[in-house]
Amino acid sequence: MIDDVVRYAQSGGSGPRPQLLVMYSATDEFILAKRPLFLERCKRFKLASDGEYRDLSDSVQRLLDSGLLTEDDLQNTYITWSKRRAVRTLGVCYALYRVISISPALDSPDVPLECLDFVVYHEFLHLRVGVKIGGRNHNQAFRSMERMYPDYDRVVSELRKIKKRRPPVRLLSAFGHLDRNTGQRTCRIGPSSGLRMEEQEKRGFVFNTPQGDMELSIEEVERLAAEGDQDGLYALAMAYLFGWDVEEDAEKGYYYLEKAVGAGQTEAMALMVRLFMQGEYEGITSERAAQLSIKAAGDGIPEAQLYAGLAYMDGVSVEQDYKEAARYFRLAANQGSSDARASLAYLFQEGLGVEKDEHKAFMLYRTAARAGNVNAMFQLAVCYEFGTGTAVDLGQAAEWYRKGAEQGDAFAMERLGYLHSEGIGGGPDPAAAFEWFLKAAMEGVTTAMTMTGHCYLKGIGVEPSEEEAAKWLKMAADNGDEEAKAILDSLDAERLPKK
């Protein structure tokens, strides 16, 4: 492949592209590895699906509900508003990285939802059909699918009118934009966690504003925080929590984080909830965490949408509502949250808040697993092992259990033990079974401790040792495993002198 790439480069790009390179660039591995750098370097994206009036994740959901899009269309796709208010080109598809950007010209209450949805649908069709470099991308097949959109002619006519509109006038301040009507200054900092630290030179903090990226020093961040600016407070909290340009100080970090949350900074709310759920911050209750999640979710933050979904699913501080949980999981999943996609899959698998659909659950698990979600890897393997939403495939089950095990999932290790004990595409492999049971047992899985003891007792994949068997069985019994207790009881009975 390297020789082909060299020849292609020497031709100035005029020769045939190396086939292996083309194939690799279409893989999930390439997309997941290269897209973050593309998004970071490309300054034309807002890096958020929520606009001032419209949320692109809602548009995607409407298209899913209508059947125009499928879960496969969404696989590894990133959709965002662009920064530039283009009217001639309302949407752009960057097929190589599976990125779709939509012009903020459509982010208006004056734009009918069906017009926004059509543009989103149009760009997703490019991913479905494929983009040909130097070729016709709006060919007959593409146009036929495009015309499947309801009331196609009227919607296209409306979009032509939108392209003739002039953009509204805004005054940009030194930090954020100033609204002529309210006089309020707003600034959305960064994608995902909001703030980004320049990693290469540690020079300062980069804020995403309507006028582009702005870099502030730690001194400028401190001045903003002293003025009570919610974004400055959040930035200073991040600085102390993660040691950015200051000595790491969790106490000060939590102090400024609490100030930022009190000032209404929703990304700070999402961070506080995450730290609470990770057991690193104890300054709020579960009820308060749920309240903050729901509030921040309203601002379109995917992590907060995930936590809000979990709150509704578990009934924490709100009445349990699986339908509302599914709504929040969808919103987060449409912004790329693999945790939310896995949680939504569970709801479809169990028929909670949505119509039960095991195949859709399988598809969602698969998408999340391919994105690196460890929990989804385990659930996908379970689907393959037991034929849930797909055909039984023990080879695929073993592969996904192994991927999870390599990420430290002890329960995946245990399932690999069972698969090897029964045989994967061949006879049983006792040595491999024992190895995986032992690994899971050492990670604290009680049932794996029982199986490890059983292997030592019977000499399955290891030299028999009643002493080692008793050790593992006792640990399992002490953790409440009834099977281990029964085996130990039988061993004790055998040792009793016969009358």
Q: How far apart are CA 440 and CA 451, in angstroms?
A: 10
One pLDDT digit (tens) per residue for the chain, 499 residues:
444 434 434 444 444 444 443 344 445 565 667 777 777 766 678 888 888 888 999 999 999 999 999 888 888 888 998 877 666 678 888 877 788 989 888 888 888 999 999 999 999 988 887 654 434 456 777 788 888 999 888 898 888 777 644 333 222 222 222 232 333 323 333 333 334 333 333 445 776 666 666 778 889 889 999 999 998 999 999 899 888 888 889 999 999 999 999 999 999 999 999 999 888 898 999 899 999 999 999 989 999 999 999 999 988 888 999 999 999 999 999 988 999 999 999 999 999 999 999 999 999 999 999 999 999 999 999 999 999 999 999 999 999 999 999 999 999 999 999 999 988 877 899 999 999 999 999 998 999 999 999 999 999 999 999 999 999 999 999 988 899 999 898 887 766 555 4
* Other beta carbons within 10 Å of 458: 12
Tell me, yes or no, whether 339 lies in a domain.
no
Q: How far apart are CA 293 and CA 369, in angstroms?
A: 25
Which residue from 88, 53, 110 is spatially nearest to 164, judged by alpha carbons?
88
Tell me, yes or no, whether 291 lies in a domain.
no
Domain encompassing residue 435: 408-499
Tell me, yes or no, whether 175 lies in a domain.
no
Token pair 């050492």 in the structure block, residue = 442
Please measure the distance between the N-terminal and C-terminal CA atoms of the chain and give it in whole angstroms: 78
Domain boundary among 162, 187, 204: 162
Q: How far apart are CA 11 and CA 36, in angstroms?
A: 29
Q: What is the rounded radius of gyration, in angstroms, for the C-alpha atoms of the chain?
A: 27
Tell me, yes or no, whether 226 lies in a domain.
no
pTM above 0.75, yes or no: no
Domain boundary among 162, 197, 218: 162
Amino acid at 47: L
Tell me, yes or no, whether 353 lies in a domain.
no
For residues 383, 385, 391 and 396, what is the CA-based torsion angle, rounded to 10 degrees? 90
Domain boundary among 115, 140, 162: 162
Tell me, yes or no, whether 314 lies in a domain.
no
For residues 118, 123, 126 and 132, what is the CA-based torsion angle, rounded to 10 degrees? 130
pLDDT, residue 280, reads 86
* Count of structural domains within the chain: 2
Instruction: Read off the CATH number of the domain in which 440 is found.
Output: 1.25.40.10
pLDDT, residue 439, reads 94
Residue 331 C-alpha from the chain's centroid: 11
For residues 401, 402, 405 and 411, what is the CA-based torsion angle, rounded to 10 degrees? 30
Nearby residues of 455 by Cβ (< 8 Å), 6 or more positions away: 430, 433, 434, 437, 438, 461, 462
Q: How far apart are CA 455 and CA 438, in angstroms?
A: 9
Tell me, yes or no, whether 169 lies in a domain.
no
pLDDT, residue 122, reads 92
Q: How far apart are CA 92 and CA 103, in angstroms?
A: 8
3-state per-residue secondary structure call for the chain: CHHHHHHHHHCCCCCCCCHHHHHHHCCHHHHHHHHHHHHHHCCCECCCCECCCCEHHHHHHHHHHHCCCCHHHHCCCEEEEECCCCCCCCEEEEHHHCEEEECHHHCCCCCCHHHHHHHHHHHHHHHHHCCCCCCCCCCHHHHHHHCCCCCHHHHHHHHHHHCCCCCCCCEECCCCEECCCCCCEECCCCCCCCCEECCCCCCCEEEEECCEEEEECHHHHHHHHHCCCHHHHHHHHHHHHHCCCCCCCHHHHHHHHHHHHHCCCHHHHHHHHHHHHCCCCCCCCHHHHHHHHHHHHCCCCHHHHHHHHHHHHHCCCCCCCHHHHHHHHHHHHCCCCHHHHHHHHHHHHHCCCCCCCHHHHHHHHHHHHHCCCHHHHHHHHHHHHHCCCCCCCHHHHHHHHHHHHHCCCHHHHHHHHHHHHHCCCCCCCHHHHHHHHHHHHHCCCHHHHHHHHHHHHHCCCCCCCHHHHHHHHHHHHHCCCHHHHHHHHHHHHHHCCCC
Instruction: Read off the CATH number of the domain in which 137 is found.
Output: 3.30.2010.10
Tell me, yes or no, whether 425 lies in a domain.
yes
3-state per-residue secondary structure call for 189-258: CCCCCCCEECCCCCCCEEEEECCEEEEECHHHHHHHHHCCCHHHHHHHHHHHHHCCCCCCCHHHHHHHHH
Q: How far apart are CA 98 and CA 96, in angstroms?
A: 6
